[in-house]
C-alpha cells in the first residue's frame, strides 16, 4: 500500500465519528511515530474533544512523537487539573524551549494550581530564559508558590552549563534589588533573601563561586532575620574551599563562630572552620 495512502487513512480515522476507531488510530500513530502535519493537526483536534479519554490518549501520543505544531492547544491543558495536566506537561517538556513564551503568557492569569504546573514545566524545560522568568515572578506570589519556584529554580541552575552561572548570579542580584525597592525599606523581603541565599549556593565556576561567597557573607552579616542568616551560612559553607578562601572570608568564619545563635550561624561556621588549614 502507498505510504501516503496509509497516512491519509490514519488521518481520516483520527477524525472518525466512532470514538473506538479514533482511539485505535491514536495508538497506531504513536506506535509508529507518525508526525506528519496532518496527523499532528488531527491529534490537536482530538485535544479539543470533550471526551477526556480521547484528550488523554492524544496527549500521550503527542508526548511520544513531538507536538510543536499543537503547542498552543496543549498549553491551556497544562493549566488544568489531574492526569490531563500531567500529560500536557510531558508534551510541553518534549517540545522544549519554543513553548516557554506561551507558558509565560499564561502564568499571569492562571490560578494557584495552574501556576504550580507552569513552574514545574518550565523547570523541566530548563534554560536561562525560564530561570529569569521565574525569578522575576517570584516576589508577588503566595508563600507556598514561592517555595515551589525556589525548589525548581535550583533544578534549572543545576542543569545550566557553568558558562552561564555568571548570568545566574546577576539575575539573583536583580531579584534582590527589585525586592529592596518594592519593600520601601532598603532591604529585600525575607522570602526573597532566603531564595537568593539558596540559589547563590548552587553556582559553579571559580570566579562565580568567589562572587557568590562575597554576596552570601554580606547577606549573613547584614540581615536581622535568623532564617535568612541560616540559609546564607548553609550556602557559604557549601561553597567554602580552604584553598580559595580569602583572609576576609576566614575572618568572617571566625566571627560567626562567636555568634550566640548556634542553630543559624555558629554551627555552620564551625562546619566550614573544620575544613580550614589553621595553626
The answer to whether residue 182 scores a pLDDT higher than 90 is no
The answer to whether residue 68 scores a pLDDT higher than 80 is no
| Percent of the chain surpassing pLDDT 70 | 93
The answer to whether residue 277 scores a pLDDT higher than 60 is yes
Predicted pLDDT of residue 66:
66
Q: If pLDDT is split at 50, 70 and 90, which confidence band does 69 have?
A: low
Kindly report, residue by residue over 207-230, the tens digit of the pLDDT: 999 999 999 999 999 888 999 999
Predicted pLDDT of residue 127:
93
Pick the more confident residue, 86 or 160. 160
Predicted pLDDT of residue 231:
97
Mean pLDDT of the chain: 87
Predicted pLDDT of residue 9:
84
pTM of the model: 0.82
Q: If pLDDT is split at 50, 70 and 90, which confidence band does 279 have?
A: confident
Which of 77-91, 97-111, 205-219 has the highest mean predicted lDDT (pLDDT)? 205-219
Q: What is the residue-wise DSSP string for the chain?
A: --HHHHHHHHHHHHT-SSHHHHHHHHHHHHHHT---HHHHHHHHHHHTSS-HHHHHHHHHHHHHH--GGGHHHHHHHTTS-HHHHHHHHHHHHHH-GGGHHHHHHHHTT--HHHHHHHHHHHHHH-SHHHHHHHHHHGGGS-HHHHHHHHHHHHHHHHHS-GGGHHHHHHHHHHHHHHHHHHHSSSS--HHHHHHHHHHHTT--SHHHHHHHHHHHHHHHHH---HHHHHHHHHHHHHH--TTT--HHHHHHHHHHHT-S-IIIIIHHHHHHHTTS---
pLDDT average, residue stretch 249-257: 95
Pick the more confident residue, 105 or 131. 131
Amino acid at each position: 500500500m502507498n505510504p501516503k495512502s496509509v497516512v491519509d487513512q490514519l488521518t481520516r480515522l483520527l477524525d472518525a465519528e466512532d470514538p473506538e476507531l479514533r482511539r485505535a488510530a491514536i495508538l497506531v500513530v504513536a506506535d509508529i511515530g507518525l508526525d506528519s502535519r496532518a496527523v499532528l493537526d488531527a491529534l490537536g483536534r482530538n485535544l479539543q474533544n470533550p471526551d477526556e479519554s480521547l484528550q488523554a490518549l492524544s496527549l500521550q501520543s503527542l508526548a511520544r512523537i513531538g507536538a510543536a505544531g499543537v503547542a498552543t492547544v496543549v498549553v491551556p491543558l497544562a493549566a488544568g487539573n489531574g492526569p490531563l495536566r500531567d500529560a500536557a506537561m510531558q508534551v510541553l517538556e518534549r517540545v522544549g524551549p519554543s513553548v516557554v513564551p506561551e507558558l509565560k503568557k499564561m502564568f499571569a492569569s492562571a490560578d494557584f494550581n495552574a501556576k504550580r504546573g507552569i513552574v514545574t514545566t518550565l523547570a523541566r524545560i530548563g534554560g536561562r530564559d525560564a530561570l529569569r522568568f521565574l525569578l522575576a515572578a517570584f516576589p508577588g506570589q503566595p508563600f507556598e508558590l514561592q517555595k515551589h519556584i525556589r525548589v525548581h529554580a535550583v533544578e534549572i541552575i543545576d542543569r545550566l552549563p557553568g558558562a552561564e552561572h555568571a548570568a545566574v548570579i546577576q539575575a539573583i542580584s536583580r531579584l534582590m534589588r527589585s525586592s529592596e525597592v518594592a519593600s520601601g525599606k532598603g532591604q529585600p523581603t525575607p522570602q526573597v533573601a532566603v531564595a537568593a541565599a539558596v540559589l547563590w549556593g548552587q553556582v559553579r565556576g571559580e570566579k562565580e563561586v568567589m562572587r557568590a561567597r562575597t554576596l552570601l557573607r554580606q547577606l549573613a552579616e547584614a540581615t536581622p532575620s535568623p532564617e535568612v542568616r541560616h540559609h546564607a551560612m548553609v550556602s557559604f559553607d557549601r561553597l567554602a574551599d580552604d584553598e580559595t578562601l580569602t583572609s576576609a572570608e576566614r575572618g568572617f568564619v571566625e566571627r560567626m563562630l562567636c555568634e550566640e545563635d548556634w542553630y543559624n550561624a555558629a554551627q555552620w561556621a564551625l562546619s566550614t572552620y573544620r575544613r580550614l588549614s589553621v595553626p
